[in-house]
Amino acid sequence: VNTLDLAASVSSEYPVVITKFFTDAREIECDGVSDGTNVLIGAIVEHIENAGIHSGDATMKIGGIQTIPKESIEVIKKYTKQIALALKIHGPFNVQYLVKNEEVYVIECNLRSSRSMPYVSKIRGINLMRLAAETLMGMNIPKRLLELPYGEYVGVKAPMFSFMRLDKADPVLGVEMASTGEVGCIGEDFPDALIKALEATEMDIPVDGGNVLISVGGEELKKQVIPLAKKLKSLNFTIFATDATASALRDSGIEAVRLYKVHEYGKEPNIMACLQEGHIDMVINIPIPTTVEEKFKQILEDEYKIRRMAVDYNIPVIINLQLAKAVVDAIENVRQKKVEIKSLNEYHDSLKEVYW
C-alpha cells in the first residue's frame, strides 16, 4: 500500500503500471524497414526460450522451418505492416509479439534499429541499415526486395555472458538483460547453426557424450524433463541427478546416478565434489518456478550454488527447458553429419540477390 501511495504522489494521472505476464507463450520479433508506403519485413525471428527472457538474452532463430503455426505467421506479417503504415514509419523498426494458443499479441513496437537487425541483414543478404538510411532520405524500397525468398540455410543469434567474471552472480535469466555480448552463426539447418553459435560463445557442448547433471525444480518441470533425459540416455550420456529429480527419472525407467545435495556436503557422491573434480560435462538446471518462501529457501540456495559452481569451473550450464531440448536435438543431429564452416559470402552466393 505504501508503494501505491508513493506512486500516486509521483504521478497522480498515471500512478501505477500493471504488467501481465503470459506463461508458456512463444516470443517472436519482426525487424523491418518502411518507406511510408512499402514495408519490408527483414525476418520473423523466433525466440527459442519461451517468453519472459529479455530479447538480449534470448537465443534466436532466423530463417528455416518456422515452429509456430502458419496462420500465426500470417497474422504477424499483417499486423507488422499495419503498424508500420499506421505510424507512418520512414526508417527501421522492430515489433515484438507473443504467440499463445495460436493467438497473436503485440508487446511493443520500437521505432529504431534493434540489436538483431545486423544478424537479420547478414542472414537475409539485405542490408537493412542501408535501406533504413535510404528511406530516411526520402527514397523508396525497391519493389523486388519485398518478395525476396530466404536462403536455404538458418541463422542463430546466441547471447554471451560475463558471469564467470562477476563473483557470486547468479546465472539466471529474466526480464532484465544480463548478457554482455552476442554472436551470430549460420548453418545448413537449425541444429548446425545452434551448435556453432554456442561454441562461439565459448560454451563447450559435449557433442561426443559425457556426464550430464540434471536438477529440476517443481513436479511439473520434472515431468517435462523426462523426454529430454530419455534422449540423452539414447545418445549414451550418463545422467547424474539430485535426489527428487533422480527419483522422477527412475520412476520413468531412466537410470540416473543420485547425487547428494549441496547442503549435504560430506556425503558421497556429492554435487559439489563432482563439479569440482571435473566429473560433470554439462549442467541442466531448471530453477524451481516459485516465489522465495521459507520452505523453498534451502532448495533455492542449493540450485544457486550448482549454477554458480558450474560457471566457476567453466562447465556449460543450461537453465531453460526449451533451450535444453534444442541443444540435445542439435547434439543428435550433428553426430550424424559433419559440421561445415563456410564464409558469409559462400552462403550469400546461393541467394537470388544480395542487396548490400
What's the CATH number where 102 sits?
3.30.470.20
Q: What's the pLDDT at 12? A: 66
Q: Tell me if 12 is assigned to some domain.
A: no
Q: Tell me if 2 is assigned to some domain.
A: no
Residues 157 and 37 in one domain: yes
Q: Tell me if 193 is assigned to some domain.
A: no
Residues 141 and 240 in one domain: no
Nearest partner of 303 among 265, 333, 263, 255, judged by Cα: 263
Q: What does the pLDDT look like over 49-96, one tens digit per residue?
A: 999 899 999 999 999 988 999 999 999 999 999 999 999 999 999 999
Which are the contacts of 173, defined by CB distance < 8 A and separation ≥ 6? 49, 53, 54, 57, 319, 320
Q: Tell me if 354 is assigned to some domain.
A: no
Residues 250 and 134 in one domain: no
Q: Tell me if 258 is assigned to some domain.
A: yes
Residues 241 and 124 in one domain: no
Q: How many CB atoms lie within 10 A of CB 72?
A: 20
Q: Is the pLDDT confidence value at 308 over 60?
A: yes
- Which of 164, 189, 215 finishes a domain? 164
Domain carrying residue 33? 26-164
Q: Tell me if 184 is assigned to some domain.
A: no
Residues 141 and 53 in one domain: yes
Total domains in the chain come to: 2
Nearest partner of 26 among 111, 98, 96, judged by Cα: 98
Identify the sign of the CA torsion 245, 247, 249, 252. negative
Residues 160 and 214 in one domain: no
- Which CATH number fits the domain that encloses residue 301? 3.40.50.1380
Query: pLDDT band at residue 292, thresholds of 50, 70 and 90?
Result: very low
Q: Is the pLDDT confidence value at 290 over 60?
A: no
Q: What does the pLDDT look like over 309-336, one tens digit per residue?
A: 899 999 999 999 999 999 999 999 999 9
Q: What does the pLDDT look like over 224-259, one tens digit per residue?
A: 999 999 999 999 999 999 888 999 999 999 999 999
Burial 73-92 (b: 16+ CB within 10 A, else e): bebbeebbbebbeeeebbbb
Residues 137 and 241 in one domain: no
Q: Tell me if 39 is assigned to some domain.
A: yes
Q: Tell me if 355 is assigned to some domain.
A: no
Residues 152 and 82 in one domain: yes
Residues 218 and 299 in one domain: yes
Residues 137 and 220 in one domain: no
Residues 160 and 210 in one domain: no
Please tell me the distance from the alpha carbon of residue 237 to that of residue 211, in angstroms, as a whole number: 6
